[in-house]
Amino acid sequence: MDVTDFPDDLVQTQAAWNATYQALAAPRPRDITALRRRLLLLSVRLWWHPYWETVPSVPAARSELRHLARAHGAVRAA
């Protein structure tokens, strides 16, 4: 699967999910309730994105999306 197949909004949503998860996992996070709500909202957006209806192997594509979003996060942090 080519990484360019993912819509930009889907990659951005996964990156936001990763960032929110990291913020929630940090020691003594602030505003835990808001972070949990945001994580839930982003999870729903990821799960029900229309892109998944076009992919033959959804589990593999979801895994690749997570890896792609992590790589983009690492590039931004560098």
3-state secondary structure the chain: CCHHHCCHHHHHHHHHHHHHHHHHHCCCCCCHHHHHHHHHHHHHHHHCCHHHHHCCCHHHHHHHHHHHHHHHHHHHHC
What's the pLDDT tens digit per position in 20-62?
A: 999 999 999 999 999 999 999 999 999 999 999 999 999 999 9
Residue with tokens 């990763």: 18
Its sign, for the CA torsion 69, 19, 26, 47, is: negative
Report pLDDT for 2: 52
Report pLDDT for 72: 78
pTM: 0.85
Residue 39 near residue 17 (C-beta atoms within 8 A): yes
